Amino acid sequence: MEQIKTDILVIGAGSGGLSVAAGAVQMGADVVLLEGHKMGGDCLNYGCVPSKALLASGKAAYAQAHAGGMGVADHAPEIDYAAAKAHVADVIAQIAPHDSVERFEGLGVRVISEFGRFVAPREVEAGGYRIKARRIVIATGSSPFVPPIPGLAVVPYLTNETLFDLTERPEHLLIIGGGPIGMEMAQAHLRLGCKVTVIEGDKVFGRDDPEMAAFVIDQLRAEGLQIEEGALAEKISGKAGAIRVEAKDGRVFDGSHLLVAVGRKANIERLNLEAAGIKTTKTGIKVDSSLKTSNRRVYAIGDVAGGKQFTHVAGYHAGIVIRSALFGLPAKAREDHIPHATYTDPELAQVGQTEAEARDLHGEKLEVVRFDLDGNDRLVAERKARGRIKIMVVKGRPVGASIVGPQAGEHIALWSMAIANQLKMSQVAGMIAPYPTVAEIGKRAAGAYFSPRLFDNPRVKGIVRLVQRWLP
């Protein structure tokens, strides 16, 4: 067995692991990277990238059938589901070189295509290698959680890891789970000509602001999506092409295909964490605010750390680890400025506290400002002016923002920056956006905060009258 000594050992070549490896090696560290499956991890191969590509196909189909209001005749799209999946594969192929073994070896990283397992607090075995590292970063991500529903073990089902290999269009797709993955894939398949039923044990978009989620739900139902809430799946039966889901309350749903999208679990099974003295929780590896595990020489980042499961969180964690592991500087992760978005049409995005969370924390100190997107001229011009931006403000500073509407995932970034840097609403109001752009919604929301202070304030009006009387 070959013995290797290195400064940084990264286990897992998903978004977070690749960011650590690239950053560390370019700053002069000796880096070894382990990946026993696909470079790029879940995001590139089964998650963010393919799902957005399939949503884009669905959006193109929908646009063909709904252009009449802009002077272009509606036309029923001719959908080739296999070609849509070929589009998805091509998108992955275009991005893959950026995450490839060849690129990282070119940077100077030693890439070993094997899974790793701890054999000592600072040592990992992978294939025919035994690696001893000064610091180790676990970035093994997560995989679909498959619940122990009776019958599921013997009935064919899909997860996000297998869905994108399907080339024959489902006649009727049943989706268990009304979270971001389930709802995105529901709309994509609906627009690509499938009948779709979402079966959710509680509420769809359960972690989002219900006021904002209602915009998306109304649109999805208008497009023909069957949404069944409070339907806890209790039994599954059938065979390929004829699957039945029975809910606890007696409702029965029949379809041709089944997608299970009820959440994710941390990938820790192969790691033999006990050998390294690394503790776990119900959601993943236990870490402190510096992302260090109970073994102080080992970090855990991204999904496997048991927190928010987003690609951009893994990238953020990578920066924290590089600061700590390479430079020995104090670095702590925070979550209040981390946004998330669901890329349905309309999009749904959130950063910081929702209105309900802010009311619980701040009580009467909270001010909530809203701006409806039908007041945005660019969206009016494009016949897309439906949605809302809502900002939670405490003592003049935003503590949360919710956006629903076109490009919500893009425009939430402004509020992430504001919260990250503790900006005041006056500083956001000072921003100038080109006209006409959707970006104006941020400035207009800030303006909505100041409007009553300026226009409904007798003192301001009195000062203006006095000044006008004395101006030459």
Q: Are residues 306 and 396 in the same domain?
A: no
Residues 206 and 248 in one domain: yes
Percentage with pLDDT > 90 across the chain: 94
Identify the pLDDT of residue 472.
Answer: 78
Residues 42-51: what's their mean pLDDT?
Answer: 95
Segment 235-262 mean pLDDT: 97
What's residue 30's pLDDT?
98
Strand order in the sheet with 242-247: 233-239, 242-247, 252-255
pLDDT category, 356, cuts 50, 70, 90? very high
Q: For residue 20, which of 227, 297, 317, 260 has the smallest C-alpha distance?
A: 317
Structure confidence at residue 451 (pLDDT): 81
Lowest-confidence range among 220-229, 291-300, 369-378, 456-465? 456-465
- Specify the 3-state DSSP secondary structure of 20: helix
Residues 399 and 373 both lie in one domain: yes
Of 138 and 468, the structure prediction assigns the larger pLDDT to 138
- Residue 110: which pLDDT band, with cuts at 50, 70 and 90? very high
Please tell me which residue, 471 or 167, carries the higher pLDDT value.
Answer: 167
Question: Is residue 111 domain-shared with residue 10, that is, in the same domain?
Answer: yes
Coil, strand or helix at 426:
helix
Q: Where are the beta strands (DSSP E) in 15-109?
A: 31-34
pLDDT for 452 equals 82
Mean pLDDT for the chain overall: 96
- Residue 44 in domain: no
Q: Which of 389, 376, 386, 394 is nearest to 436 (CA)?
A: 376
Whether 137 and 161 share a structural domain:
no
* Position 455 pLDDT exceeds 80: no
Domain membership flag for residue 240: yes
**61 located within any domain:** no
What is the pLDDT at residue 326? Answer: 92
- Section 208-231 average pLDDT: 98
Q: To 10 degrees, what angle do helices 180-191 and 210-223 make?
A: 30
| Boundary-marking domain end, from 237, 262, 287 | 262
Label residue 465 by pLDDT band (50, 70, 90). Answer: confident
Regarding whether 421 and 323 lie in a shared domain, the answer is: no
Q: Are residues 125 and 166 in the same domain?
A: no
Are 19 and 138 part of one and the same domain? Answer: yes
Encode pLDDT of 326-348 as tens digits. Answer: 999 999 999 999 999 999 999 99
Strands 2-11 and 31-34 come out as parallel
**Is the CB of residue 9 less than 8 Å from the CB of residue 17?**
no
Rounded Cα gap, residues 263 and 174, in angstroms: 16
**What's the whole-number mean pLDDT along residues 288-313?**
96
Using the Cα atoms of residue 54, residue 60, residue 63 and residue 65 in order, give the sign of their dihedral: negative
Are 232 and 295 part of one and the same domain?
A: no
Which tokens belong to 66?
């709904």
| CATH code of the domain containing 28 | 3.50.50.60
Length of the chain: 472
Q: Residue 471's pLDDT band (boundaries 50, 70, 90)?
A: confident
- Residue 207: per-residue pLDDT: 92
362 lies in some domain: yes
State how far the Cα of 312 lies from the Cα of 224, in Å rounded to an integer.
32
Is the pLDDT assigned to residue 170 strictly greater than 90? yes
The per-residue pLDDT for 468 is 82
Q: What's the predicted TM-score (pTM) here?
A: 0.94
Residue 406 pLDDT greater than 90, yes or no? yes
H/E stretch holding 16: helix 15-26
Kindly give, in sequence order, each residue whose CB lies less than 8 Å from that of residue 245, ignoring residues fewer than 6 positions away.
174, 176, 199, 233, 235, 236, 252, 253, 255, 258
Asked if 273 and 373 sit in the same domain, the reply is no
What is the per-residue pLDDT for 224? 98
Is 60 a member of any domain? no
Indicate whether 254 and 279 sit together in one domain.
no
For residue 425, pLDDT beyond 80: yes
Over residues 84-95, the pLDDT tens digits come to 999 999 999 999
The whole-number pLDDT of residue 466 equals: 80
* Dihedral sign of CA atoms 326, 331, 332, 336 in order: negative
Q: Which domain holds residue 194?
A: 152-262
Is residue 443 domain-shared with residue 347, that is, in the same domain? yes
